Each structure stands twice: as C-alpha cells, then as structure tokens.
Amino acid sequence: MTANERFQYWLGYEKLDGDIRAELLSIKDDEKEIYERFYGELEFGTAGLRGVLGAGSARMNIYTVNVATQGLAAFLNASCEKPSCAIAYDSRNFSAEFARSAACVLAANGVQVHLYPELMPTPSLSFAVRHLHCDAGIVITASHNPAKYNGYKVYGPDGCQLTVESSAKVSDYIAKTDIFKDVKTVDYDAAIADGSIKLIGQDVVDAYIAAVKACSLSDDPAANAALKVVYTPLNGAGNKCVRRILKEIGVTDITVVPEQEQPDGNFPTCPFPNPEIKEALHLGLELSKKVGPDLLLATDPDSDRVGIAVRQDGQYQLLTGNEVGVLLLDYICKRKLEQGTMPERPVAVKSIVTSKMADRVAEHYGVEMRNVLTGFKFIGEQIYLLEQEGHPERYLLGFEESYGYLSGSYVRDKDAVDGSMLICEMAAYYKKQGRTLVDVLNSLYEQYGYYKNMVFDFAFEGADGMANMTKLMDSIRQNPPKALIGKDIVRTVDYKTGTGEEAGKPFTVNLPSSNVLEYGLSDGSSFIIRPSGTEPKIKIYLSAKGATREESELITARMKEEITVLIKG
C-alpha cells in the first residue's frame, strides 16, 4: 500500500476509535503529514516497538500495539504449550491503556496474562517473567525518550529482551496480520473475572525488592543512615521501589523533588527525562543547593537507569555513567575482598562502547572483563551462560556507559533500583572515611590514568531517517577514515562483518553481527560509530587517555570536531 492508501484504509474502518478518527480527519489535506504517519508500518525489532504517539501505521497507538501483540501471541502459541506472559508499564502517556489492551489481545488468544496493577520499573518485568515462569514479557515504555514517544519491549522466558531470531519470527507473524481484521481481543473486566488476566500480587513485588537487597554489600546501617540524599524519579516509575530499597538498607534522610515525584507522562519540568542530561536534573540540583545532601539521585521514567551528582567543595558535580560504573566495579571488588566473599574467577561485563578504564580496574583485581555489544540483553546473556556453567556467583557487575547497572543475577536487565542502592551504600561507605565519590574517582584516575569518554549524536528524523542513516554507514565503510587529529588509524573493527585489522593484521570478532564501526588511533584513543537501536540517531562514542585531565579533554574535543566534519561532510 501507498501512504495514502493506508490512510484511507484506516479511515474506512467502521469501528475506528473516535479520537483516532478525529486526529486523522484533522490531517486529511496534509500530504506531508499523511506520509509521515503512513509511509510504512511501525517496525518491530529486537527492541520491540518505539515511536511517536499518534494515529497512523507508523505511530504508537492502540492498533499498532494490538497488531504487535497478535503477532506475539501467534509466536507464543506456535512455540509453547499453554503460554503465559507478564506485562508491566511505566508513567508515559497511554502506557496503562496499551498494557491493558495488550493483555486483552493475549487473553483472547489463549495466553495466560500476569499484569502489574500499577506502574513498575522495567527490571521488575524481567523479574516477574522468571519468578512466575512465564514464556514472555511485555513492558510498555520508551525509557528516557521525550514525552511524545512510547514503546513496547518484549522479553523472552529467560528475562532478557527477545533474541534477534525470535524478534524476526514475531515480526513475520505481525506482517501476516491485518491490523483491523485479524486481531482478537476480549473485554478486560471479563478476562479479570475468568482469570485469563491475573493481577500480579504484592508478594512478587516483595520478592523483587528482597532480591535487590540480597545484592547489598553494606554491613554498617549506621553509616547508611548518615547519608543525606535528594531523589527525583523524573515523574516516572521508580519512586516507590527506589525509596523502599533505600529505606530497607537504612538510608532514610531522603528529600524527593516535589515537582517530579508523581507519575506524569508529559514530564512538564524535564522535556528530556534522561538522567544523562544535566537539564533533566535542574530541579534536583536547585533543591540540593537548599537541602545540602551528600548525593543527588535521579532515575529515568522506567527506572532502569540512574544518574547522580555528588557534593564536592560546596558544589554538585555530575558523574557520567562510565565514572559511576568504574566506581561501582572498584567498590564491589574492594568490599568482596574485605568480606572474604570474592568468588574464584570473578567476571564483570560491559558494552564495547563503555570506558576502557573499567578493563584496567578489572585487571587490577584479577577480574575477567567480558566486552559485549551495546544492549543489556548481551550482558544478561553472559549471566545466563555463567548460570548454565553452574557458577552464577562469578558474576560481579554488568554496566553500560548509558547509566545502566546490575550487580545481581535476579533479572536480565539494567536496574536503577539496584543501582540506586549500591551507589548510596558506596557513598555512605566512603563518607565514613571522610571521602566523597569524587575524591575516590580522582584517586582512581591517578592510579589508572585520566580516561575521558564522550558521547554525541546526529539526528535523522522523519520517514527517510533510517534510510539516510544506512546510507551514511555504507559510505563510511566504503571510504573509511585513515587518520584523525593528526594520528594514524591503526585499528579498525566492523562488527557487522565480524572482521577487523590491527597493525596490518586481520582478525575476527566473536560477537553477533551489529551495524557498528570502531577505529583506534596510534595514541590509544578510539571512536565508535553506531546507529541507535531505539532512536533515529547515529551515536559517536569517543575514548581518550591522557597524562592529565586537561590532555584527555583536549583530545576528545579535537576528535569531536573532526568527526562532525566526517559525518556532516
């Protein structure tokens, strides 16, 4: 179908939701808008669905959610006997409605549904899938995207996001399903009454919190009680669980940013509800100046990422995801050695775009560092492999530069509830010694070198965005850079083909195929070019190590300037 044919097909559906119909009628004379909304179908990939809310086949709405769920139901019925699925949702606009609608489609197709009755952190969905022995899981969220977005992530029975193979099968089923004629559904109240949709009880939430608490390394509640925290859930799903776990480990002096405490999918005080962005923490930083906490803590809308600012010399210094990950790895290793609980052949896992400083810390403690592709499912896969080997205790920490951390094997996704707990107890541990997290970080830089990492991106919005991203990546492959900032490029890796070359010698990469390019410079600096899996962006990851902080910052600044020219032409 053409975009206009799809548009007319939607308008011709007699039972079309009234609000959807009104929205479509409002654009009936706008060819550009019709094309943007109907140029194709919202693509189901390894991250599920993600898109702008609104009417249209390329938008997130009740119909695109339902047809995806019908495809998932067909996949489950073809691969499982008496399949079951857990569902969670965050604070975004229409998240609760989408979750209920998906539950009704699954129930109509004979899939037993377990639905959280209120918004919950994304990692609690991964937990519920395994705790309730489900065959799949769905969470309605767009993570840290702006308010106009929502999304639909699907998990497998292992609690990880669906594999590439399973996602492709679900996508095939969706492609064979008419968005209106082939979708089955039932009445929500009737499904609750007959038990085909069951609400997840408080016992599961309690079990999840207990599993997080079991990862605590603190043995001094008095030290934890001395920590003063300002916390913001950024109008998201973290409020209850984060505050509960902090209370359970003795952190009770918590002030919540009032404007950002309650769930609100419009995110009125932070248009980009991403703890990686300083602007999102503005109200938290302003409140911190008045309250004077040791730590500002911020979780994103679905509470799988956490960012912090640390009081240092009367000011609040934001730490990056790389810096917090390095601090956590060092802290976990240090505490386990002090407590005599360090396992034999310990393992940590991080993504290929995460700071190489973590490799140095791991080497210092005798920890095997496993580097995987971006996406926490690849970290979860490593946890699974350790469990299959019979040694889950070897796993210490998995983390990504994008503010995602996990120290336990109870879930297969990053967890801001776990991250918040560990960060607070770590801050309390060092506060007792008269040191801040910034003090500790500076000492680690002095020990291992001044590593500087930077991430920036180029947006490719609109219907042609994905095609333009693909074209650019192909162009770089065909005409790769030979040098940058006056330094020869001595190492190249193409993760799509699984091949690389260093000092003129070819090698292979034992990782799944991914559209990522990596280049290493003669001075040890490197940069990675990677299209985002969830947003219409190409992300650039820079890494440099200098003798001083100033030197490493200068290197990354020069790299950014020259790569911008490379990308923009």
**Which residues carry out catalysis?**
143
List the one residue out of 244, 256, 255, 253 whose CA is nearest residue 212. Answer: 244
In 292-415, which ranges are continuous DSSP H helix?
Answer: 321-339, 357-365, 376-388
End-to-end CA distance of the chain: 35
CA atoms of 315 and 423, how far apart (whole Å): 19
Bridge-based pairing state of the strands 499-502 and 487-494: antiparallel
CA atoms of 386 and 380, how far apart (whole Å): 10
Bridge-based pairing state of the strands 537-546 and 368-372: unpaired
Retrieve residue 222's tokens. Answer: 């008095």
Q: How far lies 158's CA from each of 395, 405, 428, 515, 556, in Å? A: 17, 18, 34, 25, 39
CA atoms of 480 and 37, how far apart (whole Å): 35
CA atoms of 414 and 122, how far apart (whole Å): 9
Residues β-bridged to residue 507: 500
DSSP strands (E only) in 143-221: 149-155, 197-199
DSSP strands (E only) in 339-481: 347-351, 368-372, 395-400, 404-406, 450-459
Q: Find the Cα–Cα–Cα–Cα dihedral 260, 262, 263, 265, rounded to 10°.
A: -50
Tell me if 370 sits within 8 A of 349, measured CB to CB: yes
CA atoms of 114 and 22, how far apart (whole Å): 33
Q: What DSSP state is assigned to residue 378?
A: H
User: Locate tokens 């043995």: which residue?
Assistant: 219
Q: 3-state class of 243 per DSSP?
A: helix
Host H or E run for residue 247: helix 239-248
Q: From the CB of residue 569, how many other CB atoms can be counted at a distance below 10 Å? A: 6
